[in-house]
């Protein structure tokens, strides 16, 4: 009978522990009525964060594409002789214009104007003023040296204006200021 009493005592202890744990769980639920929703809220927050990151990546990719396309359009439509070695005022204006245009478009798109968006401009700077191969570091350094020069700053200001027109799509020809600079002062 000793084993029966010991077994009964053990079963009673286990039953008491289960009841205590269950009561504690119910009390905890009453203290925090949203305890069951914590996982749901975390999942929603994670999905929202993922959607936000995806949206930013899409916007950033689109902004980079716009910069590459802007450079292509300028190269197709501007007099290439004015972007040749020795044409410093046109090259400086053009590079400043690209920088200003990119700043305006990224602002309108709600994208931070960071190094990624500057990469196409760095490459273009290196191609025009450097070794011609499009070295990013070389282009970045050259662009810093141009900052403050007369034609670079003029191009940058006018690039912001044309970039704003492009972002607003108000019917203005997007590149009319650079066209004017290259055609009137060629």
Q: What gap in Å lies between CA 167 and CA 100, rounded to an integer?
A: 13
Q: Which pLDDT score, from 0 to 100, does residue 3 have?
A: 55
3-state helix, strand, coil in the chain (%, to 5): 80, 0, 20
Q: Which pLDDT score, from 0 to 100, does residue 146 have?
A: 94
Q: What gap in Å lies between CA 140 and CA 1, rounded to an integer?
A: 90
pLDDT tens digits, residue range 86-130?
999 999 999 999 999 999 989 988 888 888 889 999 999 999 998
Q: What gap in Å lies between CA 147 and CA 164, rounded to an integer?
A: 21
Q: Which pLDDT score, from 0 to 100, does residue 33 have?
A: 58
Q: What is the CA radius of gyration of the chain?
A: 32
Residue in the structure block whose two tokens are 């990119």: 102
pLDDT tens digits, residue range 134-158?
788 999 999 999 999 999 999 999 9
Picking from 141, 167, 147, the residue whose alpha carbon sits closest to that of residue 67 is 167
Q: What gap in Å lies between CA 146 and CA 96, rounded to an integer?
A: 8
> Per the confidence metrics, is the pTM higher than 0.85?
no
Q: What gap in Å lies between CA 163 and CA 67, rounded to an integer?
A: 11
Buried b (16+ CB within 10 A) or exposed e, 110-147: ebebeeebbbbbbbbbbbbbbeeebbeebbbebbeebe
Please state which of the ranges 58-62, 83-87, 115-119 shows the lowest mean pLDDT.
Answer: 58-62
CA distances for 1 relative to 5, 8, 11, 51, angstroms:
6, 10, 15, 67
pLDDT tens digits, residue range 14-48?
777 787 777 777 666 666 555 556 676 677 777 77
């Amino acid at each position: 009978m000793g084993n029966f009493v010991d077994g009964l005592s053990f079963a009673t202890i286990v039953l008491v522990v289960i009841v205590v744990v269950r009561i504690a769980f119910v009390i905890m639920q009453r203290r925090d009525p949203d305890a069951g929703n914590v996982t749901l809220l975390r999942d929603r927050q994670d999905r929202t964060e993922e959607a936000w990151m995806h949206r930013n990546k899409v916007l950033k990719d689109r902004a980079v594409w716009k910069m590459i396309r802007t450079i292509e359009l300028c190269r197709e439509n501007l007099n290439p002789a004015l972007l040749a070695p020795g044409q410093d005022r046109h090259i400086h204006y053009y590079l400043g214009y690209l920088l200003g245009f990119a700043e305006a478009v990224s602002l309108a798109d709600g994208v931070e104007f960071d190094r990624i968006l500057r990469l196409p401009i760095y490459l273009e700077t290196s191609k025009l003023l450097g070794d011609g191969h499009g070295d990013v570091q070389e282009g970045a350094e050259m662009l810093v040296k141009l900052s403050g020069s007369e034609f670079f700053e003029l191009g940058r200001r006018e690039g912001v204006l044309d970039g704003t027109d492009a972002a607003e799509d108000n019917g203005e020809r997007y590149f009319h200021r650079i066209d004017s600079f290259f055609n009137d002062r060629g």
